[in-house]
C-alpha cells in the first residue's frame, strides 16, 4: 500500500495524496484541448492552466481540501507537463478506486505519480517542461462587467440549438430585450436564441452596459466538456468583449471551478 509518510520532506517541493483520482481525472479531461498544461501549486491548491495562441485560456482549480494529504514547501511551485500523458497515467486503473500520490522535487525533475488499486502499485515519471507564467486574462477593476449565472442544463440545450457549422458565435448582453442573445450564421442559415432576464434558468442577471461581441465558435466549444459536467455556469463579459465562462463542478469532496477566458474577434 502507498505509505502515509510525513510530508515534511525537504527533498520535495510538492507532495499530495488522493484516495481516489476520479474527480481530478474528470476535471483534467475537461480542459484537455491542448497538449501541455502549466501547474501552479500554492497552499490553497493546484491551478492547472491550458492556453491556445493567447486567445483562449482554461484554468481548473483543485483545492487543497480535496487531497487527503497535501504539502507544498514554497509560496508557489510552478511546472509544465504534457497533459495528455498525465491524463493517460491517471487512467491506468480506470480511476474510481485508484489511490494517487504525487511528488515533485523541483526544476528539471519529473512529476512522479504512484498509483495503487487492489494492492497493485504503478509508478510513472512524467517529464516536466520549461515553465512560463500563463497569460493574464483578468478583467480591469475599472471596467463595467455584465454577469449572469445560469443553470447548466438549459445552457447545454441552448448551445445544441445553435448551428454547429458556424465559425462565429455572437453574444449580446443588455438590460433591455433580448437581454441575452446567442446567434450563429452557418449552413442552415441564421440561428438566434433569446433569453429574457426574468427566465427561470437564471440564478442572477446583472447587466449595466450593452455588450455585443463575436467569438470563434471553436474556442467557445473548447469549454463544452466542462459545461457537460457542471451544475451551473457564470458568464461574464466586459466592455471590451473579454468573455469568461466559470463552471461549478460538484465532486465527492469539494466543489471545483473551471474558468475559460476567450478573446473577442476584432471588429471589421
Asked whether residue 208 is assigned to any structural domain, the reply reads: yes
In total, the chain counts a number of residues equal to: 268
For the residues 102-115, what does the mean pLDDT come to? 96
Cα–Cα distance measured from residue 20 to residue 192, given in angstroms and rounded to the nearest whole number:
42
Asked whether residue 9 is assigned to any structural domain, the reply reads: no
| Contact call for residues 63 and 256 (beta carbons, < 8 A) | yes
Sorted by sequence, the CB contacts under 8 Å of residue 183 that are 6+ apart come out as 162, 169, 170, 172, 190, 191, 192, 193
Q: Considering the entire predicted model, what is its pTM?
A: 0.91
Task: Name the 3-class secondary structure at 72.
Answer: strand
Instruction: Kindly state the cell numbers that stand for 65.
Output: 481540501
pLDDT for 108 beyond 90 = yes
Do 86 and 171 fall within a single domain? no
Do 88 and 173 fall within a single domain? no
pLDDT for 201 beyond 60 = yes
Identify the pLDDT of residue 9: 57
Do 19 and 108 fall within a single domain? yes
Cα–Cα distance measured from residue 254 to residue 20, given in angstroms and rounded to the nearest whole number:
13
Do 101 and 46 fall within a single domain? yes
Cα–Cα distance measured from residue 150 to residue 256, given in angstroms and rounded to the nearest whole number:
17
Do 121 and 152 fall within a single domain? no
Asked whether residue 164 is assigned to any structural domain, the reply reads: yes
| Contact call for residues 151 and 203 (beta carbons, < 8 A) | yes
Q: What is the pLDDT of residues 221-233, one digit of tens each?
A: 999 999 999 999 9
Do 214 and 160 fall within a single domain? yes
Identify the pLDDT of residue 186: 80
Cα–Cα distance measured from residue 235 to residue 139, given in angstroms and rounded to the nearest whole number:
13
For the residues 177-194, what does the mean pLDDT come to? 90
pLDDT for 154 beyond 70 = yes
Q: What is the pLDDT of residues 74-89, one digit of tens each?
A: 999 999 999 999 999 9
The last residue of one of the domains, among 95, 126, 157, is 126
pLDDT for 62 beyond 70 = yes
pLDDT for 6 beyond 50 = no
Q: What is the pLDDT of residues 20-54, one digit of tens each?
A: 999 999 999 999 999 999 999 999 999 999 999 88
Average pLDDT, whole number, for the chain?
92
Look up the CATH number of the domain holding residue 26.
3.70.10.10
Do 158 and 206 fall within a single domain? yes
pLDDT band at 5 (very low <50, low <70, confident <90, very high): low
Asked whether residue 233 is assigned to any structural domain, the reply reads: yes
The last residue of one of the domains, among 67, 95, 126, is 126
Chain centroid to Cα 247, Å, comes to 8
Identify the pLDDT of residue 54: 80
Cα–Cα distance measured from residue 150 to residue 56, given in angstroms and rounded to the nearest whole number:
21
Asked whether residue 250 is assigned to any structural domain, the reply reads: yes
Q: How many domains does the chain fold into? A: 2
Asked whether residue 156 is assigned to any structural domain, the reply reads: yes
User: Which helix (H) or strand (E) segment is 145 a member of?
Assistant: strand 145-151
Asked whether residue 1 is assigned to any structural domain, the reply reads: no
Identify the pLDDT of residue 187: 79
Do 188 and 235 fall within a single domain? yes
Do 86 and 57 fall within a single domain? yes
For the residues 111-123, what does the mean pLDDT come to? 95
pLDDT for 199 beyond 90 = yes
For the residues 102-110, what does the mean pLDDT come to? 96
Q: Half-sphere exposure (CA, 13 Å, Cβ side) for 215? A: 29
Asked whether residue 33 is assigned to any structural domain, the reply reads: yes
Do 155 and 103 fall within a single domain? no
Task: Name the 3-class secondary structure at 14.
Answer: strand
Range of the domain at 122: 14-126
Amino acid at each position: 500500500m502507498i505509505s502515509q509518510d510525513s510530508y515534511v520532506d525537504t527533498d520535495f517541493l510538492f507532495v499530495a495524496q488522493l484516495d481516489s483520482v476520479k474527480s481530478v481525472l474528470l476535471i483534467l479531461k475537461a480542459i484537455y484541448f491542448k497538449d501541455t498544461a502549466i501547474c501552479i501549486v500554492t497552499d490553497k491548491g493546484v491551478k492547472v492552466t491550458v492556453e491556445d495562441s493567447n486567445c483562449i485560456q482554461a484554468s481548473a482549480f483543485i483545492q487543497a481540501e480535496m487531497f487527503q494529504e497535501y504539502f507544498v514547501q514554497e509560496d508557489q511551485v510552478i511546472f509544465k507537463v504534457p497533459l495528455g500523458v498525465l491524463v493517460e497515467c491517471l487512467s491506468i486503473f480506470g480511476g474510481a478506486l485508484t489511490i494517487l500520490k504525487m511528488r515533485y522535487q523541483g526544476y528539471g525533475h519529473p512529476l512522479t505519480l504512484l498509483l495503487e488499486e487492489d494492492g497493485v502499485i504503478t509508478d510513472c515519471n512524467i517529464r516536466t517542461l520549461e515553465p512560463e507564467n500563463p497569460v493574464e486574462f483578468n478583467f480591469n477593476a475599472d471596467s463595467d462587467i455584465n454577469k449572469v449565472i445560469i443553470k447548466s442544463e438549459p445552457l447545454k440545450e441552448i448551445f445544441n440549438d445553435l448551428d454547429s457549422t458556424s465559425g462565429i458565435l455572437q453574444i449580446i448582453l443588455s438590460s433591455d430585450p433580448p437581454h441575452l442573445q446567442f446567434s450563429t450564421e452557418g449552413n442552415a442559415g441564421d440561428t438566434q436564441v433569446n433569453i429574457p432576464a426574468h427566465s427561470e434558468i437564471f440564478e442572477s442577471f446583472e447587466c449595466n452596459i450593452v455588450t455585443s461581441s463575436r467569438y470563434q465558435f471553436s474556442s467557445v466549444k473548447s469549454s463544452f466538456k466542462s459545461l457537460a459536467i457542471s451544475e451551473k455556469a457564470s458568464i461574464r463579459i466586459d466592455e471590451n468583449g473579454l468573455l469568461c465562462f466559470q463552471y461549478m463542478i460538484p465532486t465527492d469532496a469539494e466543489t471545483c471551478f473551471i474558468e475559460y477566458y476567450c478573446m473577442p474577434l476584432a471588429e471589421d
